[in-house]
Structure 1
Amino acid sequence: MCGRYALTSSLDALLPRLRGPLPEGLVEHYAPRPLIRPGEPLLIQRQEQGRPRVDLALWGLLPAWVRDPHGAARPINARSETVAEKPSFRGAWRHRRCLIPADAFFEKGHRIARRDGGLFWLGGLWERWLGPDGDQLESCCVLTTRPNDLIAPIHGRMPVVIPAGAEGAWLQAADGGALRRLLPLLEPWDPAGWQLGPLDRPQLDLPMP
């Protein structure tokens, strides 16, 4: 969890939520995506050198210290309880958090979304891997937390959702006290205003270990 999600919002609804330069061709080629899987490029909002920007990153985090990306583990999720300790995530947790726009995620035969159908932010981490020959790969993963009362009957984990208004604090590089102030954002979110719906296509469900 989370291993499938959707971004079906129109570009008109999406653009007001994004800050900074956009990936080349996004406006011309944007299309709603009812199913986004691990290994695919995700749209992410991030901050680099103090400036907001919007980019694409592959879903499956490749730490910058990996020497050979072929065959390396590419986790799609990071547990929020241990993200500050695990070598694969702790640097990104301090300095490279991101926001992933979504309007639904899928679990165990259910579609989970806001009742108003609105966009929300999945909390994530991003990395940039640089190869010795100059190759570059941008990747990311979704943070997960304990389930709230809505999700607990169907799964033991759920994605971290960053509330509107907390975007700036989430994206800013932090350490010490500033980083500790982000910890409440990793707690299970309030299920009020959210709903579970059945999937019309059961194959969207992704069992997670």
Structure 2
Amino acid sequence: MCGRYSLDTPLQPLQSLLQPWLRDADCGWLKHYAPRRLIRPGEPVLALRREHGLSVTSHMLWGLLPGWVKDPLTGPRPINARAETLEDKASFRGPWRHHRCLLPADGFLEQGEQIRRQDGQLFWLAGLWDRWIGPDGSEVETCCVITTRPNEFLASLHDRMPVIVPQGLEEIWLEPGDGAHRRALEPMLEPWPSEGWSRRGSSQLSLF
């Protein structure tokens, strides 16, 4: 699973990653960007998503609130979605078809260990997002991280790990598409290679 992750990178590398999708409207949050060593469920997260034919950056709450829920205060708010059941679960079926997203990260936590790329570079966590609209017109945008079975590198820590989308495939992942397109995305849901990643103890972080 993925219950904690980090975006602790300075602004310049993050801005370089997001450059193809940044707009003038993003200047506000860029000015106030602060690295975060620990991002927890229920907190606002930075995401890249597609809407109205454009891929844009956005901030959402981590914990998916399906758009069809009548009362946002009742029911579960899943932070993860199993890759194997995306087409089966009512909460995930619509977002998997129409609302995929990407969350920039530089590490995530499993059982008190921090998982990072050995080169320290950013990577994309695969996610789903949805928009809940209240009777008064208020809107809440939320998301969750897609998980898959672990590779050999992480199997000793947990029976799940986050799906990671390689850089260069962002637009393919975000494009809504039809059933054939979604089937073409399925290889991305497989465990990623173990090479090029590192683990180090971070028990002090997992306490917060």
- Secondary structure, in 3 states, of the residue corresponding to 2:84? coil
Shift of 1:24: 6.1
Q: What is the distance in 2 between the residues matched to 1:62 and 1:41? A: 13
What are structure 2's unaligned runs of at least 5 residues? none
1:161 and 2:164 matched: yes
TM-score scaled by length of structure 2: 0.95
Shift of 1:17: 1.6
Moved over 6 A (4+): none
Structure-1 residue corresponding to 2:119:
116
Shift of 1:175: 1.7
Are the counterparts in 2 of residues 4 and 204 from structure 1 also a CA contact under 8 Å? no
1:2 and 2:2 matched: yes
Change (3 A) 1:150 1:74: same
Q: What is the distance in 2 between the residues matched to 1:148 and 1:35? A: 23
Question: Which of 123, 135, 138 is the equivalent residue of 1:135?
Answer: 138
Q: What is the distance in 1 between the residues matched to 2:68 and 2:203? A: 41
Q: Which has the higher helix share?
A: 2
Q: What is the distance in 1 between the residues matched to 2:26 and 2:42? A: 18
Q: Output one character per residue of 1:70-92: Cα deviation in whole Å (capped at 9) or x when no partner.
A: 12210000000001111000000
Change (3 A) 1:150 1:139: same
Q: What is the distance in 2 between the residues matched to 1:204 and 1:4? A: 11
Change (3 A) 1:135 1:24: farther
Change (3 A) 1:204 1:174: farther
- Secondary structure, in 3 states, of the residue corresponding to 2:55? strand
Q: Output one character per residue of 1:120-158: Cα deviation in whole Å (capped at 9) or x when no partner.
A: 000000001000111100000000000001100110000
- Report how many aligned residue pairs link the two structures: 205
- Secondary structure, in 3 states, of the residue corresponding to 2:90? coil
Q: What is the distance in 2 between the residues matched to 1:150 and 1:186? A: 17
* Percent of aligned positions that are identical: 54
Are the counterparts in 2 of residues 106 and 204 from structure 1 also a CA contact under 8 Å? no
1:62 and 2:65 matched: yes
Question: Which of 96, 99, 117 is the equivalent residue of 2:102?
Answer: 99
Change (3 A) 1:140 1:42: same
Q: What is the distance in 2 between the residues matched to 1:61 and 1:24? A: 27
Are the counterparts in 2 of residues 23 and 56 from structure 1 also a CA contact under 8 Å? no
Shift of 1:204: 4.2
What are structure 1's unaligned runs of at least 5 residues? none
Q: What is the distance in 1 between the residues matched to 2:61 and 2:26? A: 14
1:83 and 2:86 matched: yes
Q: What is the distance in 2 between the residues matched to 1:202 and 1:49? A: 38
Question: Which of 30, 35, 39 is the equivalent residue of 2:38?
Answer: 35
Structure-2 residue corresponding to 1:17:
17
- Secondary structure, in 3 states, of the residue corresponding to 1:170? helix
